[in-house]
Amino acid sequence: MILENQKTNQIDFPHYKRVGDYLLGEKLGEGSFAKVRVGLHVISREKVAVKIINKEKARKDPYVYKNLRREGRLLQRGHHKHVITIYDTLETENNYYLITDLVSGGEMIDMVEGSRGLPESQVRKYITQILTALQHLHQNGLVHRDLKVENLLLDEDGDIKIIDFGLSNFMPGFGENPEVDSDKTGLTTQCGSPAYAAPELLAKRVYGNKVDVWSCGVVTYALLTGRLPYTVEPFKISALYKKMMNGEMNPIPSTLSKNCRDFILKVLTPNPDKRPTVDEIIEHKWLKESLDYSYLVGVNERIIEDEESRTLNSDVIRILTTSLGFNFSEVISSVQKHRPSRCFATYELLNKKYLKSKSQPKTVSLKEVRREMERSKNAVAIGNSESDSGFENKSSSSETELNKNGKSGQSAQTGYQTSTLPRATMTQTPTQNAHATTKLTNLTRHNSQTLPTKPNVNKPLRLPRIDGSLDRSRKPRFGSIGRNEDLDRLRENYDDVTGGDFVRPMMRNKFTPTPPPGGASVPANGSRPARDGSTNRDGKPRFQTDVKALIRTYKKFGATGGIPKRNSLLDRTERRSRVVSLLKEAQNLN
């Protein structure tokens, strides 16, 4: 089965945390701002790589924090066979998560470290794959800017996968807002690893995508010799830049072929104007010595052909739309655009699991699906759509006719539609008539610009009262007090303190004698024992308590009695002085 019990996922996979549909397991690597962990997709039980970027650490570098979410968009546009695939992006208050493919073939750095270099034929294959990926990225306006041996992985087939697009960027005119920076000629940010960075990047000059060609030359030298072409001791960027501009490269081993040495010298040209582009260097004769050169460089053409003739796994789509509740159009759009999302991740990982089962999947052409969706959309727009079962929808023509009659029969004075149901609808079967009426009701209900087709004379229209409430016979929110009284009159009665027996609710706890717990009696004079056990002689409330309660009453309800409620500063000052005078009089009486 493609879908399995999710409870077993959490038992079989050791993890410390769950984020969305992913369980986070052991750590694979760690950088300045991010960690990479093994993850498990709980729906498909397929393992993924989860890059966790800590926002607090990224905030220390304004450039990194500003472009925190750009890596996902870059990977989406740079979708390629030799580029890591991004499935999903998640974000919490503290972290930003990138869900990518888990490459299981190993790291290139492990193959190079401790060795004197790889065979020339093997390096030729890797460099050709890197150049085809760079060609695709540059054609889509992307610059990697951090290409190095540490960012190269191998998949299960032994092919290259380029990772870590955290420092990548769009070339001017290719970003999300092309018109904003279309007048710029290149990039200016100094970033990446200095040992792999081009001279123009270290010099903080304007540069283009040829910086990736230089980095590819450094990678070629490192894979063939096991060391870097330019090194300085002690390390200084100025000294490294000087060696690059003077051409003081470490010696190229004589064991390498003539064409290989020529390739290295051309890609490591210090002057960017004389340095070849990716399209030019990929035609070098050293690369053409490979027996499968045509197949390797034809990957970009096959990508275009595959996108045009792309097929989808109909079994997986059926699971997404029926068992998991995804919208069909959302699934098709996400898969077509390689848009990182929960929908795209679930489809790709389930499809990956399906292919591992070695069963022949049922496929459907993506082009045909999109064409059918457009045809259905146009059919719905003109009222001639067909149902999923393939039978003609009998209520479509009736619904269209109802809408036409309803629009033509609108009354400008009353605001209601005075049209009645057409005679053709009344001759239909009861089921069809009810179906058409239901559709018309739903149509008018969900359209904010349409009014009821017929006023309901038995149910008068509810108009809001002055206080904003509706005239409905339901229990008031404030309990049984004043259930049938008007709200204004209720407030007048509440503010009327002339009655001797009336006590405000907020003052009742302090003035009203309440029976103590245990059924003890209360003194007849109504006096309450103080905290120290003493009581007032005359049973009157203490003045301090009276003042506090009165102030709270004024703060809550405003002025009462002869002081009108006003809003101006002068009136508020007058009211405050009036309150003070009343308090003084109360103090004198006490």
CA 398 to chain centre: 42
Please give, one letter per residue, the 3-state secondary structure of 193-236.
CCCCCCHHHHCCCCECCHHHHHHHHHHHHHHHHCCCCCCCCCCC
Catalytic residue annotation: 146
Q: What is the DSSP string of 56-73?
A: HHHTTSHHHHHTTTHHHH
DSSP letter assigned to residue 287: H
Token digits of residue 299: 């990957």
Compute the distance between CA of residue 252 and CA of residue 227 in angstroms, rounded to an integer.
Answer: 11
Q: How many residues belong to the chain?
A: 590
CB 274 within 8 A of CB 199: no
Q: What is the DSSP letter of 119?
A: -
Q: Is 133 helix (H, G, I), strand (E, B) or coil?
A: helix
Give me the residues paired with residue 143 across strands. Answer: 169
Sign of CA dihedral 420, 425, 429, 431: negative
State whether residue 76 is helix, strand or coil.
helix
Are 155 and 98 in contact by the 8 Å Cβ rule? The answer is no
Q: Measure Cα distances from 280 to 124, 285, 298 in Å.
A: 16, 11, 15
Give 417's strand partners: 410
Residue 324 to residue 209: CA distance in whole angstroms: 43
Q: What contacts 171, CB < 8 A, 6 or more positions away?
A: 141, 142, 143, 186, 187, 208, 209
Round to whole Å and give the CA distance between 194 and 203: 11
Structural element, H or E, at residue 53:
strand 47-54
